[in-house]
Structure 1
């Protein structure tokens, strides 16, 4: 038999309300009582709201890729997906999405569908 692993990804936890039902305090309770790994993603690791949550997490900092790295990643996607997108369009995409890799990939996906 093939077993599958499950994890829960919580994006933008720094945008969650602190005391609201279903907010940070509820997330902490879930973390305390679950066996499923929970991946919490935030934009501002040092937000006051996350101070308590940080006691229940392992901190793995990431840096945004620079424009050269973004261009390389996106051009690899363009080539592997055989998209009709030139280098100037990739550069414009990077600028329009403020160097955000995820937004740029989503935009490439939309271009590929049209």
Structure 2
């Protein structure tokens, strides 16, 4: 698990952009059980998260049409929440960073790290 002093500024980058944190399995299940569209971002300490994923996700919010919910969990820190998100994103293998789009709780698109 990464130290909070390293992770918190990276988490704050998405929270300040309007994302809600998923901190445990119950929060993941509750958020994805709601109707509507949800984007779940699996954040990470890696360079591809800092250089591409977080800036790209924030830029994607500059649109008239947005998902109902913007959600995030941090790999290597929000361990329980990330594990549960990964169960919801099967059959895709674990990937971080990653961005998953859900509609009414069903996975409709996944952008893995290597994309």
- What is the TM-score when the length of structure 2 is the normalising length? 0.28
Looking at secondary structure, tell me which structure has more strand per residue: 2
- Higher Rg: 1
Looking at secondary structure, tell me which structure has more helix per residue: 1
- What is the TM-score when the length of structure 1 is the normalising length? 0.28
